[in-house]
């Protein structure tokens, strides 16, 4: 058990706990809740085991579904985000991302912001499309995706700054 695995397990549990206890109950303006638990997928180490990420993301989403009574929508959205994460990395940081040691929890550059933005949008679109499941709610889906994404990004960035390891 290396320390990286322990850190990830800790993050998994803490983010889920925060999400369920606090953010699921926010219901801002009646229908907007942020989902910062996907920070687990965003902050997962770049060059670590990909199968591990996909499986743990599935479990993360499944736990959320259990608490939200939502069938499998969180699991689907999380698995899709976990699988396409390397492509988003490529999109945001350029082709050579694998050779850099990207630490997302350092200062917020445009590349890091775009990575968070694309990840959050991808997750939320899948989530809300599957939740509504009908095409007559297109505007509703877009509105929910937009507002929830904004709130998720804001809370995510705040959380990233809060858990920033202060190594000097």
Partner 1 sequence: MQQIFNFIIRNSNRLLFLLLLGISLTLTIQSHSYHRSRVISSANFLSGGVYERINRVNEYLNLRAENDELVLENARLKSLLFNKEDTTKAPLPDSIKGVKPADIIVSKVIHNTYNTHENYITLNSGNNEGVKQDMGVINSLGIIGVVDNTSANYSTVVSILNMKSRINAKIKKSNHFGSLTWDGKSTGFVQLEDVPRLASIRKGDTIVTGGQSSIFPEGINIGTVENIYKKNNTSFYVIRVKLFNDMTNLGHVYIIKSKDREEIINLENQSKEKNE
Told to check if 150 binds partner 1 by CB under 8 A, we report: no
Told to check if 47 binds partner 1 by CB under 8 A, we report: no
CA distance 149 to 133: 19
Token digits for 34?
């942020």
Q: Phi, psi at residue 44, to the nearest 5°?
A: -60, 135
Q: x/- string (CB under 8 A) for partner 1, residues 80-99?
A: x-xx----------------
Q: Phi, psi at residue 22, to the nearest 5°?
A: -105, -60
Told to check if 31 binds partner 1 by CB under 8 A, we report: yes
Q: Phi, psi at residue 28, to the nearest 5°?
A: -65, 130
CA distance 157 to 43: 11
Told to check if 114 binds partner 1 by CB under 8 A, we report: no
Told to check if 66 binds partner 1 by CB under 8 A, we report: yes
* Contact positions vs partner 1 (CB under 8 A): 20-21, 27, 30-33, 50-51, 54-55, 58, 61-62, 65-73, 75-76, 79-80, 82-83, 130-133, 137, 140
């Amino acid at each position: 058990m290396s320390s990286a695995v322990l850190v990830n397990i800790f993050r998994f549990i803490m983010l889920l706990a925060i999400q369920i206890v606090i953010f699921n109950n926010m219901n801002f303006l009646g229908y907007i809740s942020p989902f910062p638990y996907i920070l687990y997928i965003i902050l997962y180490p770049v060059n670590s085991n990909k199968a591990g990420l996909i499986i743990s993301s599935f479990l993360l989403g499944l736990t959320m579904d259990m608490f939200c009574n939502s069938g499998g929508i969180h699991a689907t959205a999380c698995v899709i985000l976990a699988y396409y994460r390397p492509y988003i990395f490529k999109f945001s940081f350029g082709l050579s991302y694998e050779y850099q040691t990207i630490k997302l929890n350092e200062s917020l550059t445009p590349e890091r912001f775009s990575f968070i933005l694309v990840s959050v949008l991808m997750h939320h679109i899948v989530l809300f499309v599957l939740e509504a499941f009908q095409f007559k709610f297109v505007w509703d889906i877009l509105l929910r995706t937009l507002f929830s994404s904004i709130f998720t990004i804001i809370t995510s960035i705040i959380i990233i700054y809060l858990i920033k390891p202060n190594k000097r």
